[in-house]
Chains A and B, each alone.
Chain A
Amino acid sequence: MAVGRDSGMDVDALPVASLRDVTKTYGQGDACVHALKKVTLDLYPGEVIVVLGPSGSGKTTLLNVTGGIEPVTSGEVEVCGQSLANKKPEELATLRRKHVAFIFQFFNLIQTLTAAENVSLIAELTQKSAGLHERVEEALSGVGLLERAAHFPAQMSGGQQQRVAIARALVTGPDLLLCDEPTGALDLDTGRHVLALLQAAAREQGRCVVIVTHNSGIATMADRVVRFHEGSIAQVVQQEAGEARDVTW
């Protein structure tokens, strides 16, 4: 496969996550909805993957089953070499703690905690707290919000909140970053800034970043673009990744 310029993707590395013939259906009989139909996909460290598709095409479901917050109907999902099949909820939580982080469209910050506390909370609850303070500062610094560490979400713009969410996701050092419409609630400039941080996480830190979006303009920054249609992968395009700061929509 071609490797994009400045991409952090390591072609020789094992996939961070693998999906094999994954199917996800909801409901039964006439009300049955096939959200995913025999999807096969590998996700590699250091790459940015943009998953495109219209509403209801299965993009978010892909994210959910990869991160283990939804079970598959059939097929295999592996994350960092561990199969998600037959794992109990607490085992899946452990897996997510170690290897996966999510970023959501509406940030999902805890309103009663400051930026620094939102970032440190996850690390506190999921990992050893040694060096936590320094890691929190580093994470906030990485997203350019160290001076806002003591501010509450209500005191920050949408973009700033999403950057805090990114810092929160990165502070635990995940291998896989799953982003569901991360710029859906943001304007163009703010969105570019957020996308740049995600791109840096892949290029500089070697994480696999999956961005689900209906916004095709974002696809230019991807190492790979996966197009979904009615629950199936319609197209996978390997490309030379553009700069996030040049994304437009």
Chain B
Amino acid sequence: MVTTHPTLRRKLRRDIRRSWPLFTALVVTVFLGVTLYAAANNAYKNLQASYDHAFDVQGFPDLFVSMADPNGYARWARQQPGVQDVRTRVQADLPFTVTSGSATTKLLGRIVGYPASGKPSVASLTPLSGASNPSKGEVLVEQHMADAFGLSPGDGLSISTAIGNVPVTVAGIASSAEYLWPAPSRQEEVVPYDSFGVLFVDEQDARAWSGAGDNQALVLLSDGTRDDSASESVLSDLSDGAISRGASNVMTRQQQPSNSVLQEDIDGFRQMAVAFPILFLSAAALSMYVLLTRRVVSERQIIGTLRASGVKGSALWWHYMSYGLWAGVIGAVLGVPLGMLLAAWMSSAYVRVIGLPSQLEQFAWLRPETLMVGLVFGVVATGVAAFFPARRAIRIAPAEAMRAESPNPKTGRSPLERIVPWAGRLPSRWWMVLRSIGRNGRRTLFTATGIALALILVLASVGLLQTMRHIVAVQFDQVATADLQALYSQPVTSTQVQRVRNVPGVDTAEAVVDTPVSVAYGDAVYATQLSAFDATTRMHGFITQSGSPMALPNDGVFVDESMTAQLPGLQVGDTVAITFTDTGDSVEAVVRGMPFEPIGAFVYASKAWLHKHVPQVGPGSVQATLRSGADAEAVRSKVTGFPGVEAVVETSALQTTFNQFTGLFNVFIGAMLALGGAMAFAIIFTTMSVNIVERERELATLRAAGVRFRTLAGLVGSENVVTAALGVVPGLALGVLAAQGLLRTYSNDQFTLPLYVSGWSLLLAAAVIMLVALVSQIPGLRAIRRMDIATVVRERSG
């Protein structure tokens, strides 16, 4: 990268110094791209390494099998090739009562059997405080529940068990990789921390309190098998073996709720590590190409003279390549360490949010591969861009040294003038602006492309933000319309419903059925939940994606639109087989509609339909809406105290949890918007500056003729604005596509994220970019104002 000719090196230094604002703009663009890469890549690797370590240390199972008697399956599975170990345990969802200060909270919780001593090789815990194992009558509290209720060793709570209400003592606080994101199931991935808690209890206690024996087998593959391409077939064999032995549910590590949610986030970082740096480095490459091409054209007489004097082509080639490579190196050298620092901050912030214990963190401040790839990214982007102008330089013939004038830019009438006959009567200044756009088509194209890239970044971010806000609004304003849900230990009676209805502040109340089911269509089966309401329910809204209401059918079911991905080919009017997990009953049902729900993928039916086909499945909860201005806390407290109520969940708490979930996300979006603006500024500043430099003599001539600076600024500004506008139109379209693509990566069966971006947002994004275009011209226009007219008018073109 170092030219061998000392004078050329000196020239390079002076060229960089003289054009330092442009060079800085290039460096900044490279810097942003490399920083983003290093930050996202290192964060992704830090988080992945931490998860992998947590899974290693705790022996996170590869397969979770739920069945009535798992011990026979466990014995068989241990014999299978690739299996390292199998453990059986009890897992049961039971109501907890936690008293914190003067507040008593009932919540649906989960007890998980754990050995009274020692650390199991499969699904162990990381103790955070207090005991490492629960003794009889004691529990280890999962850390999120401990944080939500302020529990510490020595505190008490009670569990409503098969043998009655059992008071227990907190022996310790622990972290479990299964509950880093504490979700009860895939269907309930977002729940308030004070609505769902996990306790690890002595194995004998677990059996006694659940009223059953072990009901889960946890299979751990050997490391070699897991990393092998054959792992899928091993898991498939193990799953088949479980199903043939009567398993009610088989879940892989990837499907485990906590892992599923968090892994998507990690995948998001991984994609960011590629997509966004590409945007920035492409922009840097475009700017470099424009700038260096202009430099070579303006110096063609110098180049011709040097060539005529015998200077080697390679020396010239390296001279111009060096300009680009230095911008890449400086940007990359600055960007990589900052990116790594950002990665450390992002990783720390993220693990703090999810509560990964620090002893499980596997952060690396310096990753050699990130360093190398970051440097290569920066240098290659600018190097490739510099290659073509540098090659052009060595192709300039020595005869150019004799030429007074540069090759004239492309001139001629624009297509518009040919099409519109009266166009010739327009003022000359309009043609000066419009034809100037075509004087260097490639530069105009690159400028417009740079604008489009910036708009892609901005719109992808805005699209994500607006979509998230929209789906939260749809979910909580139009779909989940109940304000409160009370869960009961026994089927709900009409008296209990009336009791809730009579609570001051309650507008209406209704008994609701929520029961686990599996839905089969063709060869596909999907485990989910069926909810049954009154036909005219006000507890749940059924809408199409455009917001039109749908009426709950009495002669069939609704299947959430997102389920079609899990049940390929399923359409309205088709028949599905619904198996009720708790009773084993199987019913065929016609799909009468597919409502749109951003969160969750459930089956819906009327209570009348359910009672007709599966009368033994009754309502287990009461949902209620509150009057405007009602004291929600008072209602919750009142309902919590009713006999039979196990837990009360407020919809508003759920919404708050969801908003917290997207909190970090919003910070990321804000950063992307700012970076998008910075990128647009850097690109436009570079190309506009080159435009102005190229036309310095014309502009100086107009100034010498007495044209006002304001008029000149208007002409130059108009040209730049039109060029920017050329990039806005494709940028808007591509930005929308990019946002759709980004949302698809976050969508799954539980989160349906159709792009929602308002027309106003598109206009605003375009307006912001145009404003950036205007602002980025200011340095160039200042240069025109300060221009030494006398000197410039005497210069030869260049």
Which chain A residues have a beta carbon within 8 Å of chain B's beta carbons?
A: 60, 64, 67, 69-70, 89-90, 93-98, 100-102, 104-106, 108, 110-113, 117-118, 120-122, 124-126, 129, 152-154, 168-169, 172, 180, 185
Flag whether B706 is at the interface (Cβ < 8 A): yes
> What separation, in Å, do the CA atoms of A69 and B793 have in the docked complex?
10
Closest to A117 in B: B428
Give 30 A-B contacts (CB < 8 Å), ordered by A residue: A69-B789, A90-B708, A93-B706, A93-B707, A95-B706, A96-B705, A96-B706, A97-B707, A101-B705, A102-B705, A104-B793, A106-B697, A108-B697, A108-B701, A111-B409, A111-B439, A112-B431, A112-B439, A113-B428, A113-B432, A120-B428, A121-B428, A121-B702, A124-B428, A124-B429, A126-B706, A152-B411, A154-B408, A169-B705, A172-B705
Can you list the 5 inter-chain pairs with the closest CB atoms, starting with the nearest? A97-B706, A96-B706, A112-B435, A117-B428, A108-B701
Q: Which residues of A contact B411 (CB under 8 A)?
A: 111-112, 152-154
Q: How far is the CB of A85 from chain B (nearest CB, A)?
A: 17
- Are A117 and B793 in contact, CB atoms less than 8 angstroms apart? no
Min C-beta distance of A53 to chain B, whole Å: 16
Interface of chain B: mostly helix, strand, loop or mixed: helix
Separation in Å of the B426 CB from the closest CB of chain A? 10
Contacts of A101 in B (CB 8 A): 705
On chain B, the residues within 8 Å of A104 by CB distance are 701, 793-794
Contacts of A89 in B (CB 8 A): 709, 785
Of all chain A residues, the one with the shortest Cβ separation from B408 is A154
The answer for the CA separation of A166 and B790 in the assembled complex, in Å, is: 19
Cα A190 to Cα B706 with chains together (Å)? 28
Q: Which of B408, B432, B438, B796 contacts A106 (CB 8 A)?
A: B796
Query: Which residue of the partner chain A has the closest CB to B700?
Result: A108
The distance from the CB of B442 to the nearest CB of chain A, in whole angstroms, is 16
Nearest-neighbour CB distance to chain A for B434, whole angstroms, equals 9
- From residue B730, how far is it (CB to closest CB) to chain A in Å? 24
Distance (Å) between the CB of A132 and the closest chain B CB?
9
Residues of chain A contacted by B704 (CB below 8 angstroms): 67, 69, 96, 102
**Known contacts A108-B697, A117-B428, A90 near B435 by CB under 8 Å:** no
CB-defined contacts of A172 to chain B, threshold 8 Å: 705
Interface flag for B698 (CB, 8 Å): yes
In Å, the complex CA distance between A70 and B438 comes to 34
Residue in A93, A108, A125 whose beta carbon sits within 8 Å of that of B698 in the complex: A108
Residue from B408, B428, B703 whose CB has the most chain A CB atoms within 10 Å? B428
Contacting pair A102 B793 (CB below 8 A): yes
- Cβ-based interface call for B404 (8 A): yes
Q: Select from chain A the residue with minimum beta-carbon distance to B404.
A: A185
CB-CB < 8 A to A69: which residues of B?
A: 703-704, 789-790, 793
B656 to A: closest C-beta gap in Å: 60
Min Cβ gap A80→B in Å is 13
B436 within 8 A of A: yes
Is B711's CB within 8 Å of the partner chain A?
Answer: yes
In the assembled complex, which residues on chain A have CB atoms less than 8 Å from the CB atom of B789? 69-70
Residue from A98, A105, A110, A113 with most neighbouring chain B CB atoms (10 Å)? A110
Interface presence of B797 (CB below 8 A): yes
Instruction: Quote the shortest CB–CB distance from B408 to chain A (angstroms).
Output: 4
Interface contact A113-B431, CB-CB below 8 Å: yes
Which residues from B are CB-within-8-Å of A113?
428, 431-432, 435
As a 0/1 sequence over residues 413 to 453 of chain B, the CB contacts with chain A under 8 angstroms (1 = contact) are 00000000000000111011001101100000000000000
Contacts of B582 in A (CB 8 A): none
Q: Which residue of B lies closest to A185 (CB)?
A: B404
Do residues A106 and B405 form an inter-chain contact, with CB atoms below 8 A?
yes
Which residues of A have CB within 8 Å of B703?
69, 93
A49 to B704, CA, bound (A): 21
Bound: A89/B790 CA distance, A: 13
Cα distance A102–B703 in the bound complex, in angstroms = 11
Main secondary structure of the interface of A (DSSP, over half): helix
* Given A104-B794, A106-B405, A110-B432, residue A152 in contact with residue B412 (CB < 8 A): yes
**Interface residue from A64, A93, A98, A168 paired with B708 (Cβ < 8 Å):** A93
Contact of A117 (CB < 8 Å), options: B405, B409, B431 = B431
Structural contact, B707 and A125, CB atoms closer than 8 A: yes
Encode contact with A along B676-713: 1 for CB under 8 Å, 0 otherwise: 00000000000000000000011011111111110100
What's the Cα separation between A112 and B414 when bound, in Å? 10
A113 to B701, alpha carbons, bound, how many Å?
A: 14
Which residue of chain B lies nearest to A63 when distances are taken between CB atoms in the complex? B790
A121 to B706, CA, bound (A): 12
Chain B residues with CB under 8 A of A110: 432, 698, 701
Residues in A with CB closer than 8 Å to B697 are: 106, 108
The answer to whether B439 and A93 have CB atoms under 8 Å apart is no
Measured CA separation A54–B690 after assembly (Å): 35
A118, B700: Cα distance in complex, Å: 14
Q: With a CB–CB cut-off of 8 A, which chain B residues contact A94?
A: 706
Contacts of B428 in A (CB 8 A): 113, 117-118, 120-121, 124
A129–B432 touching, CB < 8 Å: no
In the complex, the answer to whether A111 meets B708 with C-beta atoms within 8 Å is: no
Contact A100 B436 (CB under 8 A): no
Instruction: Decide yes or no: A97 and B705 within 8 Å by CB, A106-B405, A112-B432, A113-B432 being known contacts.
Output: yes
Q: Are A121 and B432 in contact (CB under 8 A)?
A: yes
Chain A: which residue is nearest B785 at the CB level?
Answer: A89
4 A-B pairs besides A69-B703, A94-B706 with CB distance below 8 A are A67-B704, A97-B705, A120-B428, A121-B432
**CB closest residue in chain B, given A108:** B701
> Are A106 and B797 neighbours in the complex by a CB distance under 8 Å?
yes
| Minimal Cβ-Cβ distance residue in A for B714 | A125
CB distance from B56 to the nearest CB of A (A): 67
A108 close to B408 (CB less than 8 A)? no
Q: How far is the CA of A180 from the CA of B793 in the complex (A)?
A: 10
- Nearest CB in chain A: distance from B740 CB, A: 40
B residues in contact with A93, CB < 8 Å: 703, 706-709
Contacts of A95 in B (CB 8 A): 706
Separation of A149 and B703 alpha carbons in the complex (Å) = 23
Q: A111-B408, A112-B411, A125-B707 are in contact. Are A70 and B790 (CB under 8 A)?
A: yes
Task: Return B507 CB to nearest CB of chain A, in Å.
Answer: 71
Question: CA separation between A113 and B436, bound complex, in Å?
Answer: 9
* Docked CA distance A212–B708 (Å): 26
Q: In the complex, what distance in Å separates the CA atom of A113 from the CA atom of B789?
A: 21
- Give the docked Cα–Cα distance between A35 and B793 (Å): 18
Contact of B436 among A60, A102, A112 (CB under 8 A): A112
Q: Is the CB of A105 within 8 A of B709?
A: no
Query: Please, which residues of chain B bring their CB within 8 A of the CB of A118?
Result: 428
Q: Would you give the 0/1 interface string for B612-654, flagging 1 where the beta carbon is closer than 8 Å to chain A?
A: 0000000000000000000000000000000000000000000
Contacts of A108 in B (CB 8 A): 697-698, 700-701, 793
In the assembled complex, how far is the CB of residue A162 from the closest CB belonging to chain B, in whole angstroms? 13
Contacts of A98 in B (CB 8 A): 706
**B444 vs chain A, min Cβ distance (A):** 12
Across the interface, A105 reaches (CB within 8 A) one of B412, B701, B785, B794, namely: B794
A128: min CB distance to chain B, Å: 13
Question: Chain A: which residue is nearest B425 at the CB level?
Answer: A133
In the complex, the answer to whether B705 meets A64 with C-beta atoms within 8 Å is: no
| Contact (Cβ within 8 A) A124 B435 | no
Q: What separation, in Å, do the CA atoms of A102 and B706 have in the docked complex?
A: 10
CB of A228 to closest CB in B, whole Å: 17
| CA A147 to CA B409, docked complex, whole Å | 23
The distance from the CB of B705 to the nearest CB of chain A, in whole angstroms, is: 5
Contacts of A185 on B, CB cut-off 8 Å?
Answer: 404
Which residues of A sit under 8 angstroms from B404, Cβ to Cβ? Answer: 106, 185
